[in-house]
Amino acid sequence: MSEWVRRKRHFLMRLLEDAVRSKVDRDILDLLMLINSIDELYTTSSCSGRIQLVAVEEPGDKLNLKVIAKWHSSVEYHEVENVLRGHHDNLWMVVQAPILHIVARDLTTASKVLSIARMAGFKNSGLISLHPERYVVQVASTESMSIPLILKGKCLLSPEEIKVVLTLCSKLLNRSKDKLLRLTRLIREEFYSNS
């Protein structure tokens, strides 16, 4: 068995096990299964995009970040209000765009995946790893945002202002989810249109 086949089987088994344990975002599972059904491709990690409330002094400090709440769809104010009642020194609302790591068997296929990702609107995509027999394409977009809600124990926004922020967060998240649908369609057209 080749190294490619061994690695692909390993990551596919991990994906299936994670799906059974509900550790895979439901709204990206069909796309992941489509990608993994293509002989020249497999996925290693993914997120369909999310809105989070995180306790951290500054965004980007992953070592000290604590996720307080997260959603993979639009959020209502009452869901955030419950978290705001907690005792947090610093609380940020963060929107994260979808991200996928797709491994291609050769450079031609990796280039094709990168081109498709960009056509679907994933402008922050790129080739991030080159190894013999595998090329990793990171598919990423620009729909991200970090807004402080509480800093040094002080709530910075009124309930009405938080509702406005939530509307914007939902708009960004929904736009990125639309890109995932376009990506699915374009991958299907490129790899299965002649089948």
What pLDDT, in 10s, does the model give residues 38-79? 999 999 999 999 999 999 988 778 888 999 999 999 999 999
- Which range of residues forms the domain containing residue 42? 3-192
Given this model, what pLDDT does residue 171 score? 95
Given this model, what pLDDT does residue 194 score? 62
Task: Report yes or no on whether pTM surpasses 0.85.
Answer: yes
Q: Residue 37: how many CB atoms within 10 A of its CB? A: 12
Number of domains in the chain: 1
For the cut 60, the answer to whether the pLDDT of residue 134 exceeds it is yes
Q: Coil, strand or helix: which one is 165?
A: helix
Residue 71 to residue 54: CA distance in whole angstroms: 12
For the cut 70, the answer to whether the pLDDT of residue 195 exceeds it is no
Residue 111 to residue 97: CA distance in whole angstroms: 22
Percent of the chain clearing pLDDT 70 (strictly above): 99
pLDDT digits (tens, 9 = 90+) for 104-128: 999 999 999 999 999 999 999 999 9
Given this model, what pLDDT does residue 150 score? 93
Q: Give the CATH number of the domain where residue 24 resides.
A: 3.30.1960.10
Average pLDDT in the 12-35 region? 93
pLDDT digits (tens, 9 = 90+) for 75-108: 999 999 888 887 789 999 999 999 999 999 999 9
